[in-house]
Amino acid sequence: MTILVTGGAGYIGSHVVTVLLAAGRKVVVLDNFCNSDPSVVERLERITGCPVPLVHSDVRDRERVADTLRRFGVDSVIHFAGLKAVGESVSKPIEYYGANIQGTISLLEAMQSEKVGQLVFSSSATVYGDPGYLPIDESHPTSATNPYGRSKLHIEEMLKDVALASPSWKIVCLRYFNPVGAHASGLIGEDPAGIPNNLMPFVAQVATGQRSFLRVFGQDYPTSDGTGVRDYIHVMDLAEGHSAALRFVADHPGWNAINLGTGRGTSVLEMVSAFERASGRPIPHEVVDRRPGDIASCYADPTLARQLLGWQATRGVDDMCSSTLAWQKNR
Protein backbone atom coordinates (compact mmCIF):
# COMPACT_ATOMS: atom_id res chain seq x y z
CA MET A 1 0.00 0.00 0.00
CA THR A 2 1.25 3.42 -0.99
CA ILE A 3 0.71 6.99 0.19
CA LEU A 4 0.20 9.74 -2.36
CA VAL A 5 1.90 12.94 -1.16
CA THR A 6 0.61 15.92 -3.14
CA GLY A 7 3.05 18.83 -2.88
CA GLY A 8 5.63 16.33 -1.64
CA ALA A 9 8.56 18.35 -3.05
CA GLY A 10 7.64 21.36 -0.90
CA TYR A 11 8.94 22.34 2.52
CA ILE A 12 6.68 20.28 4.79
CA GLY A 13 5.86 17.51 2.30
CA SER A 14 9.53 16.67 1.70
CA HIS A 15 10.18 16.25 5.43
CA VAL A 16 7.10 14.06 5.75
CA VAL A 17 8.39 11.86 2.92
CA THR A 18 11.64 11.20 4.87
CA VAL A 19 9.66 10.09 7.93
CA LEU A 20 7.29 7.85 5.95
CA LEU A 21 10.13 6.14 4.08
CA ALA A 22 12.09 5.65 7.31
CA ALA A 23 8.99 3.92 8.73
CA GLY A 24 9.00 1.50 5.79
CA ARG A 25 6.02 3.05 3.97
CA LYS A 26 5.87 3.48 0.20
CA VAL A 27 5.18 6.91 -1.25
CA VAL A 28 4.53 8.60 -4.55
CA VAL A 29 5.10 12.36 -4.82
CA LEU A 30 2.88 14.49 -7.06
CA ASP A 31 3.97 18.09 -7.57
CA ASN A 32 3.82 20.77 -10.27
CA PHE A 33 6.97 22.49 -8.87
CA CYS A 34 5.34 25.93 -8.80
CA ASN A 35 7.07 26.52 -5.45
CA SER A 36 9.78 23.84 -5.34
CA ASP A 37 12.44 22.21 -7.44
CA PRO A 38 12.60 18.68 -8.90
CA SER A 39 16.09 18.30 -7.36
CA VAL A 40 14.36 17.94 -3.97
CA VAL A 41 13.21 14.48 -5.05
CA GLU A 42 16.80 13.42 -5.82
CA ARG A 43 17.87 14.76 -2.43
CA LEU A 44 15.08 12.76 -0.78
CA GLU A 45 16.46 9.63 -2.45
CA ARG A 46 19.96 10.47 -1.13
CA ILE A 47 18.67 11.01 2.40
CA THR A 48 16.50 7.89 2.56
CA GLY A 49 18.30 5.49 0.20
CA CYS A 50 14.86 4.66 -1.24
CA PRO A 51 13.41 5.37 -4.67
CA VAL A 52 10.89 8.22 -4.60
CA PRO A 53 8.50 7.86 -7.54
CA LEU A 54 7.50 11.26 -8.91
CA VAL A 55 4.50 12.39 -10.94
CA HIS A 56 5.03 15.87 -12.37
CA SER A 57 1.45 17.13 -12.47
CA ASP A 58 -0.95 19.73 -11.23
CA VAL A 59 -3.29 18.34 -8.58
CA ARG A 60 -6.14 19.82 -10.64
CA ASP A 61 -5.44 17.31 -13.44
CA ARG A 62 -8.06 14.86 -12.19
CA GLU A 63 -7.36 12.13 -14.75
CA ARG A 64 -3.65 12.20 -13.98
CA VAL A 65 -4.32 12.01 -10.24
CA ALA A 66 -6.80 9.14 -10.69
CA ASP A 67 -4.28 7.31 -12.88
CA THR A 68 -1.61 7.83 -10.18
CA LEU A 69 -3.90 6.41 -7.49
CA ARG A 70 -4.56 3.36 -9.66
CA ARG A 71 -1.05 2.72 -10.93
CA PHE A 72 0.63 2.94 -7.55
CA GLY A 73 -2.06 1.15 -5.54
CA VAL A 74 -2.54 4.19 -3.31
CA ASP A 75 -4.61 3.71 -0.15
CA SER A 76 -4.06 7.09 1.59
CA VAL A 77 -3.38 10.64 0.52
CA ILE A 78 -1.61 13.49 2.32
CA HIS A 79 -2.62 16.73 0.61
CA PHE A 80 -0.03 19.52 0.88
CA ALA A 81 -0.30 20.95 -2.66
CA GLY A 82 -1.53 24.52 -2.61
CA LEU A 83 -0.53 28.16 -2.37
CA LYS A 84 0.30 29.58 1.06
CA ALA A 85 1.39 33.24 1.05
CA VAL A 86 -1.16 35.32 2.99
CA GLY A 87 -0.21 38.68 1.37
CA GLU A 88 -0.19 37.28 -2.16
CA SER A 89 -3.60 35.69 -1.58
CA VAL A 90 -5.09 39.17 -1.08
CA SER A 91 -3.88 40.34 -4.51
CA LYS A 92 -4.46 36.99 -6.30
CA PRO A 93 -7.65 35.52 -4.80
CA ILE A 94 -8.67 33.67 -7.98
CA GLU A 95 -5.30 31.87 -8.14
CA TYR A 96 -5.55 30.97 -4.44
CA TYR A 97 -9.13 29.66 -4.57
CA GLY A 98 -8.25 27.82 -7.81
CA ALA A 99 -5.14 26.08 -6.47
CA ASN A 100 -6.48 25.38 -3.00
CA ILE A 101 -10.23 24.79 -3.34
CA GLN A 102 -10.44 23.59 -6.95
CA GLY A 103 -7.31 21.52 -6.32
CA THR A 104 -8.94 19.79 -3.34
CA ILE A 105 -12.23 19.17 -5.20
CA SER A 106 -10.35 17.65 -8.11
CA LEU A 107 -8.36 15.42 -5.73
CA LEU A 108 -11.57 14.31 -3.96
CA GLU A 109 -13.18 13.42 -7.31
CA ALA A 110 -10.18 11.30 -8.26
CA MET A 111 -10.16 9.63 -4.83
CA GLN A 112 -13.90 8.92 -5.07
CA SER A 113 -13.58 7.38 -8.53
CA GLU A 114 -10.69 5.16 -7.38
CA LYS A 115 -12.31 4.31 -4.02
CA VAL A 116 -9.51 5.81 -1.94
CA GLY A 117 -11.06 7.28 1.23
CA GLN A 118 -8.18 8.10 3.62
CA LEU A 119 -7.06 11.71 3.58
CA VAL A 120 -4.81 13.86 5.76
CA PHE A 121 -5.16 17.55 4.89
CA SER A 122 -2.74 20.43 5.61
CA SER A 123 -4.77 23.03 7.42
CA SER A 124 -3.48 25.92 9.47
CA ALA A 125 -3.88 27.71 12.79
CA THR A 126 -4.91 30.64 10.60
CA VAL A 127 -8.47 29.16 10.73
CA TYR A 128 -8.69 30.42 14.34
CA GLY A 129 -8.39 34.07 13.24
CA ASP A 130 -7.55 36.49 16.06
CA PRO A 131 -7.48 34.20 19.13
CA GLY A 132 -10.30 34.73 21.64
CA TYR A 133 -8.41 32.74 24.28
CA LEU A 134 -5.08 30.92 24.71
CA PRO A 135 -3.95 28.22 24.38
CA ILE A 136 -6.12 27.52 21.35
CA ASP A 137 -7.95 24.20 21.39
CA GLU A 138 -9.86 22.69 18.48
CA SER A 139 -13.23 23.97 19.67
CA HIS A 140 -12.06 27.59 19.42
CA PRO A 141 -14.33 29.45 16.93
CA THR A 142 -13.00 29.64 13.38
CA SER A 143 -12.82 32.66 11.08
CA ALA A 144 -10.74 34.07 8.27
CA THR A 145 -9.39 37.49 7.38
CA ASN A 146 -7.79 36.82 3.98
CA PRO A 147 -8.34 34.55 0.93
CA TYR A 148 -5.62 32.08 2.02
CA GLY A 149 -7.23 31.56 5.42
CA ARG A 150 -10.70 31.45 3.86
CA SER A 151 -9.57 28.75 1.41
CA LYS A 152 -8.38 26.58 4.33
CA LEU A 153 -11.64 27.17 6.19
CA HIS A 154 -13.80 26.37 3.14
CA ILE A 155 -11.81 23.20 2.48
CA GLU A 156 -12.20 22.06 6.09
CA GLU A 157 -16.00 22.61 5.86
CA MET A 158 -16.15 20.84 2.51
CA LEU A 159 -14.24 17.86 3.91
CA LYS A 160 -16.62 17.72 6.86
CA ASP A 161 -19.58 17.43 4.45
CA VAL A 162 -17.80 14.76 2.41
CA ALA A 163 -17.07 12.68 5.53
CA LEU A 164 -20.71 13.04 6.66
CA ALA A 165 -21.99 11.74 3.34
CA SER A 166 -20.35 8.30 3.52
CA PRO A 167 -18.51 6.24 6.15
CA SER A 168 -16.00 5.26 3.48
CA TRP A 169 -14.28 8.62 4.02
CA LYS A 170 -11.73 8.96 6.82
CA ILE A 171 -10.42 12.50 6.99
CA VAL A 172 -8.09 14.37 9.34
CA CYS A 173 -7.38 18.10 9.02
CA LEU A 174 -4.11 18.96 10.73
CA ARG A 175 -3.97 22.57 11.91
CA TYR A 176 -0.30 23.52 11.88
CA PHE A 177 1.01 26.33 14.04
CA ASN A 178 4.37 27.79 12.88
CA PRO A 179 6.52 25.11 11.19
CA VAL A 180 10.27 25.92 11.23
CA GLY A 181 13.62 24.10 11.16
CA ALA A 182 14.98 21.55 8.74
CA HIS A 183 16.07 17.92 8.32
CA ALA A 184 19.30 17.04 10.17
CA SER A 185 21.05 16.17 6.87
CA GLY A 186 20.99 19.84 5.83
CA LEU A 187 19.83 18.67 2.37
CA ILE A 188 16.22 19.86 2.54
CA GLY A 189 14.53 22.82 4.20
CA GLU A 190 12.38 25.86 3.60
CA ASP A 191 13.37 27.55 0.36
CA PRO A 192 11.37 30.75 -0.11
CA ALA A 193 11.71 32.66 -3.37
CA GLY A 194 12.69 36.34 -3.01
CA ILE A 195 12.53 38.20 0.29
CA PRO A 196 11.20 35.87 3.01
CA ASN A 197 7.91 36.92 4.64
CA ASN A 198 8.33 34.64 7.64
CA LEU A 199 10.54 35.19 10.64
CA MET A 200 12.80 32.11 10.57
CA PRO A 201 13.95 32.19 6.94
CA PHE A 202 14.55 35.95 7.30
CA VAL A 203 16.64 35.54 10.48
CA ALA A 204 18.58 32.71 8.79
CA GLN A 205 19.50 35.04 5.92
CA VAL A 206 20.64 37.72 8.39
CA ALA A 207 22.73 35.10 10.23
CA THR A 208 24.50 34.08 6.99
CA GLY A 209 25.06 37.68 5.90
CA GLN A 210 22.60 37.72 2.98
CA ARG A 211 20.56 40.44 4.69
CA SER A 212 21.92 43.12 6.95
CA PHE A 213 19.29 43.21 9.72
CA LEU A 214 15.93 41.90 10.87
CA ARG A 215 12.97 44.21 11.19
CA VAL A 216 11.06 43.29 14.35
CA PHE A 217 7.42 44.11 13.62
CA GLY A 218 6.27 45.90 16.78
CA GLN A 219 7.35 45.85 20.41
CA ASP A 220 4.10 47.15 21.88
CA TYR A 221 2.08 43.93 22.00
CA PRO A 222 0.68 42.71 25.33
CA THR A 223 3.35 39.97 25.58
CA SER A 224 6.30 39.40 27.97
CA ASP A 225 8.74 41.54 25.92
CA GLY A 226 6.25 43.35 23.67
CA THR A 227 7.03 41.31 20.52
CA GLY A 228 4.73 38.81 18.79
CA VAL A 229 4.45 35.32 20.30
CA ARG A 230 4.02 32.17 18.20
CA ASP A 231 4.04 28.41 18.64
CA TYR A 232 7.06 27.39 16.55
CA ILE A 233 7.09 23.67 15.80
CA HIS A 234 10.07 21.78 14.38
CA VAL A 235 9.21 20.49 10.91
CA MET A 236 10.47 16.99 11.87
CA ASP A 237 8.04 16.92 14.81
CA LEU A 238 5.33 18.03 12.39
CA ALA A 239 6.37 15.27 9.98
CA GLU A 240 6.12 12.65 12.73
CA GLY A 241 2.65 14.04 13.50
CA HIS A 242 1.60 13.19 9.93
CA SER A 243 2.84 9.64 10.31
CA ALA A 244 0.76 9.33 13.50
CA ALA A 245 -2.26 10.87 11.74
CA LEU A 246 -2.02 8.26 8.96
CA ARG A 247 -2.10 5.48 11.55
CA PHE A 248 -5.10 7.13 13.23
CA VAL A 249 -7.07 7.77 10.04
CA ALA A 250 -6.86 4.11 8.97
CA ASP A 251 -9.47 3.08 11.56
CA HIS A 252 -11.38 6.30 12.23
CA PRO A 253 -14.16 7.02 9.72
CA GLY A 254 -15.48 10.58 9.72
CA TRP A 255 -13.80 13.98 10.09
CA ASN A 256 -11.42 15.27 12.72
CA ALA A 257 -9.47 18.51 13.08
CA ILE A 258 -6.34 18.28 15.22
CA ASN A 259 -3.80 20.95 16.25
CA LEU A 260 -0.12 20.27 15.61
CA GLY A 261 1.78 22.63 17.87
CA THR A 262 4.06 22.44 20.91
CA GLY A 263 1.83 24.34 23.35
CA ARG A 264 4.69 26.79 24.02
CA GLY A 265 4.78 30.40 22.88
CA THR A 266 8.08 32.05 21.89
CA SER A 267 8.49 35.78 21.24
CA VAL A 268 10.37 37.28 18.29
CA LEU A 269 13.16 38.47 20.58
CA GLU A 270 13.42 35.04 22.25
CA MET A 271 13.75 33.49 18.80
CA VAL A 272 16.46 36.03 17.89
CA SER A 273 18.38 35.08 21.07
CA ALA A 274 18.05 31.36 20.25
CA PHE A 275 19.41 32.04 16.77
CA GLU A 276 22.31 34.02 18.22
CA ARG A 277 23.16 31.01 20.44
CA ALA A 278 22.98 28.66 17.43
CA SER A 279 25.11 30.84 15.16
CA GLY A 280 27.48 32.22 17.82
CA ARG A 281 26.97 35.73 16.42
CA PRO A 282 24.70 38.69 17.08
CA ILE A 283 21.64 39.04 14.83
CA PRO A 284 21.33 42.77 14.09
CA HIS A 285 17.71 43.85 14.49
CA GLU A 286 15.64 46.98 14.67
CA VAL A 287 12.11 47.47 15.98
CA VAL A 288 9.73 48.93 13.38
CA ASP A 289 5.95 49.39 13.23
CA ARG A 290 3.58 46.44 13.61
CA ARG A 291 2.91 44.47 10.42
CA PRO A 292 -0.72 45.03 9.39
CA GLY A 293 -2.91 41.98 10.11
CA ASP A 294 -0.53 40.47 12.70
CA ILE A 295 -1.89 39.13 15.97
CA ALA A 296 -0.15 39.44 19.35
CA SER A 297 -0.01 35.80 20.48
CA CYS A 298 -0.95 32.41 19.14
CA TYR A 299 -0.14 29.03 20.62
CA ALA A 300 -1.77 25.64 20.63
CA ASP A 301 -3.39 23.41 23.14
CA PRO A 302 -1.87 20.16 21.80
CA THR A 303 -3.85 17.84 24.14
CA LEU A 304 -6.07 16.32 21.43
CA ALA A 305 -3.08 15.28 19.30
CA ARG A 306 -1.62 13.51 22.33
CA GLN A 307 -4.93 11.78 23.05
CA LEU A 308 -5.93 10.79 19.50
CA LEU A 309 -2.58 10.40 17.74
CA GLY A 310 -0.31 9.49 20.67
CA TRP A 311 1.96 12.24 19.35
CA GLN A 312 3.67 15.24 20.91
CA ALA A 313 6.45 17.57 19.82
CA THR A 314 9.84 16.85 21.40
CA ARG A 315 12.28 19.26 19.74
CA GLY A 316 13.09 22.70 21.15
CA VAL A 317 13.96 26.11 19.73
CA ASP A 318 17.73 25.46 19.79
CA ASP A 319 17.30 22.51 17.40
CA MET A 320 14.91 24.59 15.26
CA CYS A 321 17.56 27.32 14.92
CA SER A 322 20.64 25.12 14.42
CA SER A 323 18.95 22.97 11.75
CA THR A 324 17.67 26.10 9.95
CA LEU A 325 21.19 27.53 9.99
CA ALA A 326 22.77 24.30 8.66
CA TRP A 327 20.25 24.22 5.79
CA GLN A 328 20.76 27.93 5.04
CA LYS A 329 24.53 27.42 4.76
CA ASN A 330 24.02 24.43 2.42
CA ARG A 331 21.46 26.00 0.10
Q: Which residues bind ligand NAD (CB under 6 A)?
A: 7, 9-13, 31-36, 58-60, 80-84, 99, 103, 122, 124, 176, 179
- Residue 202 binds which of ligand UFG, ligand NAD, none (CB < 5-8 A, kind-dependent): ligand UFG
Is 299 labeled as catalytic in the residue annotation?
A: no
**Which entry of 128, 148, 176, 299 is annotated as an active-site residue?**
148
Instruction: Indicate whether 216 belongs to the interface with ligand UFG (CB under 6 A).
Output: yes
Amino acid at 129: G
Interface size with ligand UFG, residues (CB under 6 A): 19
The DSSP-derived string for 212-258 is S-EEEE-S-SSSSSSS-EE-EEEHHHHHHHHHHHHHHHTT--EEEEE
Instruction: Indicate whether 134 belongs to the interface with ligand UFG (CB under 6 A).
Output: no
Least distance between ligand NAD and beta carbon 185 (Å): 17
Least distance between ligand NAD and beta carbon 191 (Å): 7
Bond from prior residue into 284 cis (ω within 30 degrees of 0): no
Instruction: Indicate whether 183 belongs to the interface with ligand UFG (CB under 6 A).
Output: no
Do residues 57 and 34 touch, judged by C-beta distance below 8 A? no
Least distance between ligand NAD and beta carbon 249 (Å): 17
Amino acid at 100: N
Residue 96 phi, psi (nearest 5):
-70, -45
Nearer to ligand UFG, 57 or 197 (CB): 197
Q: Which stretch binds ligand UFG (CB under 6 A): 12-20, 51-59, 196-204, 304-312?
A: 196-204
273: number of Cβ within 10 Å:
15
Give just the sign of the alpha carbon dihedral 61, 63, 68, 69.
positive
Do residues 168 and 177 touch, judged by C-beta distance below 8 A? no
Beta bridge partners, 280, equal none
Among 291, 307, 318, 329, contact with ligand UFG (rule: CB under 6 A): 291
Least distance between ligand UFG and beta carbon 213 (Å): 10
Instruction: Indicate whether 255 belongs to the interface with ligand UFG (CB under 6 A).
Output: no
Q: Which stretch binds ligand UFG (CB under 6 A): 10-18, 159-167, 198-206, 274-282?
A: 198-206
What sections of 57-190 are H helices per DSSP?
62-71, 86-91, 93-97, 103-113, 147-165
For the annotated catalytic residues, the residue numbers are 148
